[in-house]
Amino acid sequence: MQKLSLSQSQQQRLSPQQIQFIKLLQIPTAELSQRIEEELEINPALEEGTDLAEKQKDEDFGDSYDNEYDEFGDYEGSDSFESNERIDIKDYLNQDDYSGYKMYSDGWGEEEKEAMPVVSTSTLSESLNQQLGYIKLNERQTQIGEQLIGSIEDDGYIRRPVRSICNDLAFGQNIYATEDEVVSVLKKIQKFEPAGIAARDLRECLLLQLERNSYSMENDIATLIIEDHFDEFIKKHFDKIKKRLNIEDDVLKKSLSLITRLNPKPGNMGHGDGSAAYLMADFIVTTQNSKLEIILNSKNAPDLKVSKSFSEMLDTYDKGDKQNKHIKETVTFVKQKLDAAKWFIDAIKQRQQTLLRTMEAIVLYQQEFFWEGDENKLKPMILKDIAEKIEMDISTVSRVANSKSVQTDFGIYPLKYFFSEGIATDSGEDASSREVKNILKELIDHEPKNSPLSDDKLEKLLNKRGYNIARRTVAKYREQLNIPVARLRKQL
């Protein structure tokens, strides 16, 4: 039997302004300009530029900012956005507080100080399609070639079966090609740069690169190893290879050395994920007058303002017939666009403030590293440590740390590089897991190559050095360092 009942419950829901701030917070500096361009296109009430008379007000923004916002940046006038009936024209006639901004803390006023560490390259697919145009192919072959290039994954491999590519051509382009036709074009693409591109597996990738090398006995032996003894090679059964090929240790070592210098991921040569390659730090930490100075990339502080002409439009319509349905709808539209422009500018401002607060807390926590650049000086630090210092939620810190980087005197580091677990030591202190990883890597680098250290032996050596660590933790750190098990590290 069904019956109706009433119940009350409290739920916390994010407002549109909170959602907007969250989305802006998690994008890196390199993508912020594109996001601003999108907002400028869809909102005519938002403009680029600033009024010089208002710059000082904007510089003092940080002192009074906390009074107007909660952690996610709710705007004080947010209720007006949801009301289409209650309109106070006076709220929109004076836009001095929103005429533009550039927070003092960005510190990058001069043009020559602009952070522009950008290196742009063509994408991998663009490069391959360009090379495709250089070889003599008919229209049908060119379409097959374009389909194959589109099937190449980020690391440079084609893992999609040839039969499936034939089906793609038939259904997508109405081209009924045989597998032999597709393979014929594939062989041509595999001669493109970079060497090893469009291989269907690792074995084929290595062989394609060996084919480019000039003739030598070592290259010939290396080719035989990959062609006929690939399983033994990946399992490092070198004694079997030496016996079957009837070669000396010296020749085998040179051939194996040649193979290890090949690139197993030809698609990652400067192209990353297949898009234009660039690097732009979100923060810069430098040493000035015996102090650590934190600078936020100036790209995070664009000059934005609310359109005065849009504000004046409200005044014009206010003098008209307020009972006219068309005028009422127009006023509502203009008001909503002005609200959206204000909230976007405020979200950008709070994004800047949150980034700086988070970075300041990280530098304060890890200042020994920022002074010396020594990884062993990194302290164990988790998201909760920083969240407590800046009095924000852990999820907020996570969004900042997961997508931002900092340029230091010692190189560029992702923010999540500074977060690590703690390992107890015999002295009762906590050591950073990064410090333990460095020692683990050092032990493996200096181990006997013909008799690598097992995880059990590594555990005992670390325990002797005062680090209370279990074997399973050693295995986890070794895997995080991309170091194979002892059996696979064995060399002649």
Q: Domain spans of the chain? A: 14-117+281-419, 124-268, 422-489
pLDDT of residue 428: 53
pLDDT of residue 189: 93
Distances (CA, A) of 313 to 38, 310, 336: 23, 5, 13
Domain 422-489 - what CATH class?
mainly alpha
pLDDT of residue 432: 64
pLDDT of residue 279: 55
Name which of 94, 65, 92, 102 is nearest 340 in CA terms: 92
Residue 230 has which token pair?
């690939």
Name which of 64, 62, 80, 67 is nearest 17 in CA terms: 80
Residue 65 has which token pair?
């900012």
Query: Tens-of-pLDDT digits for all 492 residues of the chain?
Result: 567 777 776 665 667 777 778 888 888 877 888 888 888 888 888 888 764 444 555 554 444 434 333 433 333 333 433 334 444 444 434 444 333 333 333 333 333 333 334 333 457 888 898 889 878 889 999 999 999 999 998 889 999 999 999 998 998 889 999 999 999 999 999 988 888 999 999 999 999 999 888 778 888 999 999 999 999 888 888 889 999 999 888 888 888 888 888 888 888 754 444 343 445 688 888 888 888 889 888 777 778 888 888 777 777 776 666 667 777 777 788 888 888 888 888 888 888 899 999 999 999 988 888 888 877 778 888 888 899 999 988 888 888 887 788 888 877 888 888 887 666 565 555 566 777 888 888 888 888 888 888 988 888 888 888 778 888 888 888 888 888 888 888 776
Name which of 426, 415, 433 is nearest 358 in CA terms: 415
Distance CA 414, CA 400 (A): 10
Distance CA 184, CA 372 (A): 57
Instruction: Tell me if 406 sits within 8 A of 353, measured CB to CB.
Output: no
Distance CA 333, CA 49 (A): 23
Distance CA 386, CA 360 (A): 10
Distance CA 32, CA 19 (A): 16
Q: In the chain, what's the furthest Cα-to-Cα distance?
A: 100
Distance CA 238, CA 445 (A): 21
Phi and psi at residue 426, to the nearest 5°: -65, -25
Exposed/middle/buried for residue 398 (C-beta within 10 Å: 0-12, 13-18, 19+) = middle
**What is the pTM for the complete model shown?**
0.49
Instruction: Tell me if 330 sits within 8 A of 310, measured CB to CB.
Output: no
> Could you give the angle at which helices 202-212 and 249-260 cross, rounded to 10 degrees?
100
Strand partners, 10: none
Q: What is the 3-state secondary structure (H, E, C) of the chain?
A: CCCCCCCCCCCCCCCHHHHHHHHHHHCCHHHHHHHHHHHHHHCCCEEECCCHHHHHHHHCHHHHHCCCCCCCCCCCCCHHHHCCCCCCCHHHHCCHHHCCCCCHHHCCCCHHHCCCCCCCCCCHHHHHHHHHCCCCCCHHHHHHHHHHHHCCCCCCECCCCHHHHHHHHHHHHCCCCCHHHHHHHHHHHCCCCCCCCCECCHHHHHHHHHHHCCCCHHHHHHHHHHHHCHHHHHCCCHHHHHHHHCCCHHHHHHHHHHHHCCCCCHHHCCCCCCCCCCCCCCEEEEEECCEEEEEECHHHCCCEEECHHHHHHHHHHHCCCCCCHHHHHHHHHHHHHHHHHHHHHHHHHHHHHHHHHHHHHHHHHCHHHHHHCCHHHCCCECHHHHHHHHCCCHHHHHHHHCCCEEEECCEEEEHHHHCECEEEECCCCEEEHHHHHHHHHHHHHCCCCCCCCCHHHHHHHHHHCCECCCHHHHHHHHHHCCCCCHHHHCCC
pLDDT of residue 323: 67
CB atoms near residue 278 (< 10 Å): 12
